[in-house]
Amino acid sequence: MTRPAALQQPRRPGRIRRTLLIAAGLLCVALATAGVFLPILPTTPFLLLAAACFARSSERLYRWLHENRWFGPFLTRYRAGLGIPLLSKLMILTLLWITLAASAFLAMPDRLWWVRLILLAVGAGVTTHLLWIPTYREPTVSRN
């Protein structure tokens, strides 16, 4: 007699699939790292995607990502729905709009006006998404 599906151990992915998931997770971590310095590149979606890849392929890398001193607290707070610190939001928005403005007006020829509209739409979308994410505030410690 077979065990019900809910009681069976989850199947481990095959060697090729596991290798591809680890490679994709590492690529996502690299892109998230680049996103810290390049405001047009989002950090959070790549971290979440890396965590999903590692959860399906490597418990060690999944644990490393969550315990990482740079990404761990950010990822844990985001996944718990606690949000992003205000200073991080301000830095992200400032760098985002400086980069978009420089790209649109310094690097873009006038004949490509439609690319400027795309950059504006991307900036508006990222700004809207960022403002919808709750703002994380450190818990205050009361002194008694």
Q: Which domain holds residue 100?
A: 84-136
> What is the rounded average pLDDT of the residues 18-35?
94
> What is the rounded average pLDDT of the residues 82-109?
87
Q: What is the pLDDT of residue 6?
A: 47
Q: What confidence tier does 41 reach under pLDDT thresholds 50, 70, 90?
A: confident
Higher pLDDT, 12 or 137: 137
Residues β-bridged to residue 85? 136
Residues 70 and 51 in one domain: yes
Write a three-state SS string for the chain. CCCCHHHCCCCCCCHHHHHHHHHHHHHHHHHHHHHHHCCCCCCHHHHHHHHHHHHHHCHHHHHHHHHCCCCHHHHHHHHCCCCEEHHHHHHHHHHHHHHHHHHHHCCCCHHHHHHHHHHHHHHHHHHHHHHHCCEECCCCCCCC
Report how far residue 97's alpha carbon sits from residue 61's, in angstroms, rounded to the nearest whole number: 34
Indicate the residue among 79, 105, 126 that finishes a domain: 79
The pTM score is 0.61
Q: What is the pLDDT of residue 58?
A: 94
Residues 92 and 65 in one domain: no
pLDDT exceeds cutoff 80 at 8? no
Q: What is the pLDDT of residue 76?
A: 85
Mean pLDDT over all residues of the chain?
85
> What is the rounded average pLDDT of the residues 41-51?
85
**Total of domains in the chain:** 2
Indicate the residue among 55, 79, 103 that finishes a domain: 79
Report how far residue 7's alpha carbon sits from residue 141's, in angstroms, rounded to the nearest whole number: 44
Greatest C-alpha distance within the chain:
72
Taking only the tens place, the pLDDT of each residue in 47-94 is 889 999 999 999 999 999 999 998 888 888 888 888 888 888 898 888
- Domain assignment present for 144: no
Indicate the residue among 79, 101, 126 that finishes a domain: 79
